[in-house]
C-alpha cells in the first residue's frame, strides 16, 4: 500500500507541472495572437497520456517486486549427487590377454567414445576423474583391458571391443563405456629357416616346411623340385647341389625362403658279367670276353685278365697245356675294384708220335 500511495503522489505532481506549463504557454501566446494555441482537446489528450504512463509504471512496479521475490524462493539447492568428469587419451605403453569381442552392434555403440589402434600395438587409457567432494576415488577398466587400462594387442585381435571404466568414492559409482577398435594389419606368412640338408646317393630325403601366419589366415605353400612332393628317393645319378625354394602366400602377401640340398656321391662298383667256367681241349683257342658295366657313367673302368689268358682275353693252348687254371678278371673304376674268377680246364689230348727225321747212325 505504501508503494501505491507513492505512485499516486508522483502522478499528481506530474499533473501540477503540466498545468503550470499550460499557463506559461497561454501567457506567451497572449502576447502573440498569431501563434497557434493548443486546443482543449489537445490538452485533454496530453493529460490522458501522462496518466496512462504513470498508471503503467505503478502496476509494473509491484509485479517486478513479486517476480523478484519468487526468484529468490525458487533458487535450487546444491545437489549432493557426485559426478565424474573423465577423458580417455591414448598413450604408449602391459600386456593383457584378449577376452571377448563385441559381436553385435547397437545404435548406442555409435555414441561411445572410440579409441582406435592397429593390431600388435600397445595401448593405455588414462582416466582423468574428479570428485566435487574431494573424496578418494578408486577406478578400474574391464576386459579386454586390464584394470589399469592397458592392453598389448596381437595380430588376429582385429575387431571392436567395449571396455567399461568404473569409478567409485565408496558410496556412489559412475561408469563410462569406451569402444576400442582394433584395425587389422595383414602380415605375410612366416617360414621357418631351413638349414642345408645333406644326404648320400640312394637315401630318401623328406621335407615338410613349417609355416605360420600371424593373422591365422589360410596359407598356400609350394616347394620347388625335386622336393615338390616332400619325398625324394635319390639314386646313383642324384649327386649334386640343389637350391630348394619354399613359397607361402595368404592370398595377399607372399614370403619366400631358400635352402640347399647336397647329395653326396656314393660310388657304385663296376659289375662283371658275360663269363663263366670254361673247359677246352689242348690245342684249342681260349677266349674270354667279360662284360663290365658301371652305373657311375662318368667313371672310367680298367679291365685286367690274369695269365695264362692275358688282358686281351685270348689264349692259344698247346698239347702240353692240359691242366686246371684259375683266371681272374678284375674291373677297377679308380674308386673300387671288383674281381671275378673263372675256372679254366684244359683237357689232355693224346697225339700219336711224330717221326720227324730218320738218319744213318755212325
Domain-terminating residue out of 164, 183, 202: 183
The reply to whether 178 and 101 lie within a common domain is: yes
Residue 165 belongs to a domain: yes
Residue 358 belongs to a domain: no
Question: At 295, is the pLDDT very low, low, confident or very high (cuts 50, 70, 90)?
Answer: confident
Return the closest-CA partner of residue 11 out of 39, 66, 51. Answer: 51
Range of the domain at 275: 271-347
- Please provide residue 30's backbone torsions phi and psi, each rounded to the nearest 5 degrees: -65, -35
Mean pLDDT, the chain, rounded, equals: 79
Residue 71 belongs to a domain: no
The reply to whether 235 and 283 lie within a common domain is: no
Q: Which three cell numbers stand for residue 31?
A: 502576447
Predicted local distance difference test score (pLDDT) of residue 313:
94
Residue 253 belongs to a domain: yes
Neighbours of 102 (CB within 10 A): 14
Report the CATH number at residue 319: 2.60.40.10
The reply to whether 294 and 329 lie within a common domain is: yes
Domain-terminating residue out of 153, 183, 213: 183
Predicted local distance difference test score (pLDDT) of residue 100:
41
- Taking only the tens place, the pLDDT of each residue in 255-273 is 999 999 999 999 999 999 9
Question: At 163, is the pLDDT very low, low, confident or very high (cuts 50, 70, 90)?
Answer: very high
Distance CA 140, CA 175 (A): 10
Distance CA 218, CA 223 (A): 17
The reply to whether 17 and 45 lie within a common domain is: yes
Distance CA 243, CA 281 (A): 62
pLDDT for 99 beyond 50:
no
Predicted local distance difference test score (pLDDT) of residue 249:
97
Question: At 23, is the pLDDT very low, low, confident or very high (cuts 50, 70, 90)?
Answer: low
Residue 75 belongs to a domain: no
Return the closest-CA partner of residue 344 out of 327, 322, 321, 320. Answer: 327
The reply to whether 307 and 323 lie within a common domain is: yes
Residue 140 belongs to a domain: yes
Using DSSP, state whether 177 is helix, strand or coil. strand
The reply to whether 318 and 235 lie within a common domain is: no
Residue 20 belongs to a domain: yes
- pTM greater than the 0.85 cutoff: no
The reply to whether 202 and 157 lie within a common domain is: no
Domain-terminating residue out of 230, 264, 298: 264
CB of 281 closer than 8 Å to CB of 346: yes
pLDDT for 53 beyond 90:
no
Question: How many structural domains comprise the chain?
Answer: 4
Handedness of CA 84, 87, 93, 95 (dihedral sign): positive
Residue 46 belongs to a domain: yes
Adjacency order of strands within the sheet including 90-91: 90-91, 122-125, 150-152
Predicted local distance difference test score (pLDDT) of residue 111:
78
Amino acid at each position: 500500500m505504501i508503494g501505491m500511495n507513492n505512485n499516486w503522489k508522483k502522478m499528481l505532481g506530474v499533473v501540477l507541472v503540466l498545468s503550470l506549463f499550460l499557463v506559461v504557454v497561454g501567457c506567451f501566446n497572449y502576447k502573440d495572437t498569431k501563434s497557434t494555441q493548443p486546443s482543449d482537446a489537445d490538452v485533454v489528450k496530453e493529460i490522458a497520456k501522462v496518466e496512462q504512463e504513470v498508471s503503467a509504471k505503478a502496476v509494473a512496479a509491484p509485479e517486478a517486486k513479486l517476480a523478484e521475490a519468487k526468484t529468490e524462493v525458487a533458487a535450487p539447492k546444491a545437489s549432493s549427487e557426485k559426478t565424474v568428469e573423465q577423458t580417455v587419451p591414448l598413450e604408449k605403453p602391459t600386456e593383457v590377454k584378449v577376452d571377448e569381442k563385441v559381436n553385435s552392434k547397437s545404435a548406442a555403440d555409435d555414441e561411445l567414445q572410440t579409441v582406435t589402434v592397429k593390431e600388435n600395438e600397445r595401448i593405455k587409457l588414462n582416466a582423468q576423474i574428479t570428485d566435487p567432494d574431494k573424496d578418494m576415488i578408486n577406478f578400474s577398466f574391464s576386459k579386454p583391458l586390464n584394470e589399469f587400462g592397458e592392453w598389448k594387442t596381437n595380430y588376429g585381435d582385429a575387431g571392436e571391443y567395449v571396455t567399461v571404466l568404473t569409478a567409485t568414492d565408496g558410496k556412489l559409482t559412475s561408469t563410462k563405456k569406451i569402444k576400442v577398435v582394433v584395425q587389422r594389419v595383414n602380415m605375410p606368412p612366416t617360414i621357418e629357416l631351413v638349414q642345408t640338408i645333406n644326404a648320400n646317393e640312394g637315401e630318401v630325403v623328406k621335407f615338410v616346411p613349417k609355416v605360420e601366419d600371424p593373422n591365422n589366415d589360410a596359407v598356400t605353400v609350394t616347394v620347388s623340385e625335386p622336393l615338390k612332393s616332400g619325398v625324394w628317393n635319390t639314386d646313383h645319378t642324384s649327386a649334386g647341389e640343389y637350391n630348394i625354394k619354399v613359397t607361402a602366400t595368404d592370398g595377399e602377401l607372399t614370403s619366400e625362403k631358400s635352402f640347399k640340398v647336397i647329395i653326396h656321391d656314393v660310388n657304385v662298383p663296376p659289375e662283371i658279367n658275360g663269363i663263366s667256367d670254361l673247359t677246352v681241349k689242348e690245342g684249342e683257342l681260349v677266349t674270354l670276353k667279360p662284360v663290365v658295366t658301371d652305373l657311375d657313367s662318368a667313371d672310367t673302368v680298367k679291365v685286367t685278365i690274369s695269365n695264362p689268358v692275358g688282358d686281351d682275353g685270348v689264349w692259344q693252348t698247346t698239347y702240353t697245356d692240359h691242366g686246371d687254371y684259375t683266371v681272374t678278371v678284375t674291373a677297377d673304376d679308380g674308386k673300387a675294384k671288383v674281381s671275378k674268377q673263372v675256372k679254366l680246364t684244359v683237357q689232355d689230348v693224346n697225339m700219336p708220335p711224330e717221326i720227324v727225321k730218320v738218319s744213318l747212325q755212325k
